[in-house]
Amino acid sequence: MDYANRQSTVVWIASDHGGFDGKAVALDHIQSLGYDVKDLGTYSKDSVDYPDFAKAVARKILENPDHCGVLLCGTGIGISIAANRFKGIRAALCTSEAHAKMARKHNDANIIVMGGRTTSPELIRQMLSTWFSTTFEQGRHIRRIEKIDQEE
């Protein structure tokens, strides 16, 4: 899916308590880019379980393949593992603009994941801008993506 030229795309966003502050930064920035953002929680810094939020976003994207997602937890590791349990979800944990670019360009990631406690607000904004402005290269990458969802 090409999010770069589809600002009507709905963006589902969620975090656990560790990603709460980063989620606020991400939500504001994505809205400033013109996207329709739907916040699935959490809505406070009270301790919650990140798999619940990964599942909520993954399910929304599987129901609406034209949509994409943003997830945050403390480091991004746990929530990305939980999201990637779903066939058809490609949640990429990004720690740099280069990661964000390649997650879209080569992997057609439909969820970008970041660490709320490990990523500065400025880097969150930079990675989101890059991720949303990068298009999927397709070509040889399509067969690789198809292999991800093949049953073993």
Q: Give the torsion through C-alpha atoms of 38, 40, 46, 48, to 10 deg.
A: -150
In tens, the pLDDT along 50-100 reads 999 999 999 999 999 999 999 999 999 999 999 999 999 999 999 999 999
Give this prediction's pTM.
Answer: 0.93
Q: With respect to CATH, is domain 10-148 assigned 3.40.1400.10?
A: yes
In tens, the pLDDT along 30-53 reads 999 999 999 999 999 999 999 999
Domain ranges of the chain: 10-148
Given the residues 17, 29, 106, 141, the one annotated as active site: 106
Active site residue 106: yes
Helix (H) or strand (E) holding 113: strand 111-115
